[in-house]
Amino acid sequence: MNTRNMRILGFSQIKQQLVRLAPSSLSKEIARRLRPSPIQEEVIRRLQDTEEAVQYRLQEGPIDYGRLTDIRPALAKAARNIVPEKAECIAIWHNIQAYMIIKEKLAVPDTPYVQLSKRAASIADFTALQKNFSRVFDEDLQIRDTASPELFRLRTRIATLENRTKRMITEILQHKEYQKYFQEQLFTVRNNRYVIPIKQEYRRAFPGIVHDTSASGLTLYVEPLAMVDGNNELQTVRMGEEKELERIFARLTEAIKAQDEALLLATRAAGQVEFCFAKAALAEKMAAIRPRMGEAGVIRLIQARHPLLSPDKVVPNTLRLGDEYRVLLITGSNTGGKTVAMKTLGLQVLMHQAGLFIPAAAESVLAVFREVFSDIGDEQDLSQNLSTFSGHIKQLVYILRHCREKDLVLIDELGSGTDPTEGSAIAIAILDALKTRGADVMVTTHYNDLKNYAYETAGVENAHVEFDDKTLQPTYKLRIGTAGSSHAFSISARLGMPAEVLQFAEKIRKQTSHVDMEHILAKLNRQEKDLELREIETAQRLREITRQQAVLQREREEAAKERSLLLTAARQDAREAKRKLRIESEQIIKQLKQSKKKSAPEELAAVIQRTRQNIRDLSLPGSNEGGRVPVKSEELQNGDIVFVNSLQEAGKVVSVQGKNITAVVGTLTVRVKAKDVSLPTAAEIQEEKRREQKQTLQTATHTCKPVTRIATEVNVIGKTYADALPDIERFLDQALGAGFSPVKIIHGKGSGALRRQIHGYLADLPFVKEFKTAEEGEGGGAGVTLVYFK
């Protein structure tokens, strides 16, 4: 992209904002080098970087790893066997810790942040190098005494010698004979040697070596002769410490050198990651979005704002180009926002192709352009003796020579600076040439001839910036579809032009050929504004209707939910009623049995059987709401899967005898009438097949219990009483019908609460003769209840 065009459109200022948001010199350097790319794949990759960083900030928050340092100079030193300074080594250590945090946070499997993860994954594992640094430096960034055994020995010796020297100098300071010699009763350090401040007049009276003098010359800093040997020894040990530190740093340098390539790669990767998050921060600051990628030359910027203007003051506008028309001609008053609209488009295109989000609505679409050309502002060049018009034409010639398809051309005040008639003719010719080349073009002008050209030429569209005739102020609103007036008279009046001058100008204007067109344009613009107000009102009504529809839909859903709850409650009530009815009927049956001597046995048995069957055939509310399809017994074969209505479960048919069907449902073998079975759903068939496969697998690996015992026991261990009761009711019904007695209810021992609740339930059943806890020899002991039927 042309550097001049980027400067004119304000891209340099966007980069400055990005540089300020970049936290380290690494990411700042990347921001300064940022340029728009004309390659669509590269633009998509850059935008995806920004997208992932934006989403990460929203979902996870910022990554806290401190601020990176540019360690490349230190790595270059290490590569040449030059030992880095302590500060440089600490910077490398800090960066390694940051690299590991970035890798830990981003380089994770199945992450949605694919590109950020790929960058983080390129960071090598520096665990061993990090341990080397940790052995040398402590948390306060000081060199550890234990960095090497020799350093520990030397520092221990230094501490011992310093303590001895301080004791000696304290004794000298406290000596009574020397008190008058001292300027102050304290000691200090000069040239790394302990000294005492002595009054200048007692220099010869106090034996020692002078190392320094005060600014006034009244105080001498003297090393007592008695301490010379001690200070010398201390200095020798300190020099040994310095040499040992050099050896430690040399070893650290070797470790750095061994991984210098990996450290360089990690530095670049971390800088790129940091730059991605700087782009995300800029997007957040601008309330910007990622536009959809458009086809060649297509621009649809919805409610776009100029990125460098305050969101509170700028008027958003919708800009369309590249669909029905490739050339957009903007007219209207001066200071009305024509140039701002043009710069908004140009700058957003450059930002988009640099991988930055743009301040616009989410529905916006932007294509990738090969080049952006602009001629905005006064290009007068006094050094080359060029006038405003000459500079203008020179730039247009450059554009015409280099412009082609997939380019964007922005021209401000096309054809201005010369005779209006000639300028209009040149402007129309330039527009036609640019249109022929297939570029997207946006120009501003005041020439009426260009407005007519746009109305009469396919692929060229008029637009204008709105002007409020009442307030005599521009609204900065761009309207596409009609040309606008320059409003020169209104603006001149507002700025204080004498009335007599304007009256005379109006008289002259009425004699020109363009006066009718100005009135027509004004009328069209008023009509367009009225239509827009009606559209806004219609849209508001539509939104209200949509809101009301949503409210009605919610009410319907709530009503359906309430109906479902009522049906559920009704079914529960019906089940309870059926249970009570069964108890009452068993009591009647018991009474009938007691009076069986008065009736024939066959007749009595038939009455009992009919009563029990009628109870089983009772239906619950909504029990067939699913639209169950009945099955004819003659259509069934062994192995078919059916749905047993009374059990509300699917099972497999094992035999068909007339109207009676025997089926295995779970662990139960039941015999039911044909009218009690229905066609299963696909899901129920699949579930039954899965259950059969599971049972087959269990049969292959374990010894199965005899089939005859399947219906003689039910296991409810681990269930609550509410969950266990339906299973127990169903089991007792089937066992009673099959004639088994006694049967087992396996409930487990536990706290005994479930056993007591089951015993309380059995006590109310009239067809239960007795029940008791099983003996240890009967299997299960206190965890099993035996039930005997009458």
Binding-site sequence positions for ATP:
332-339
SS3 sequence, 114-133?
Answer: HHHHHHHHCCCCCHHHHHHH
Q: Annotated binding site, which residues?
A: 332-339
- What are the φ/ψ torsions at residue 422 (nearest 5 degrees)? -65, -40
Which helix H or strand E contains 236, and what residues bound it? helix 228-258
Strand order through the sheet with 641-644: 668-673, 660-665, 649-657, 641-644, 677-678
d(CA 286, CA 741): 81
Q: Half-sphere exposure of 406 toward its Cβ, with a 13 Å CA cutoff? A: 10
d(CA 57, CA 63): 8
Which helix H or strand E contains 678, and what residues bound it? strand 677-678
Q: What angle do CA 660, 664, 670 make, to 5 degrees?
A: 45
Whether the bond between 359 and the residue before it is cis, its omega within 30 degrees of 0, is no
d(CA 783, CA 751): 10
Tokens of 475: 């609204």
User: Residue 196 pairs with which residues in a beta bridge?
Assistant: 222
Neighbour-count burial of 276, counting CB atoms closer than 10 A to its CB (0-12 exposed, 13-18 middle, 19+ buried): buried
Query: What is the pairing mode between strands 327-332 and 473-480?
Result: unpaired
d(CA 591, CA 472): 104
> How does DSSP classify residue 213?
E
How would you label 657-682 residue by residue, b for 16+ Cβ within 10 Å and e otherwise?
Answer: eeeebebbbeebbbbbbbebbbebee
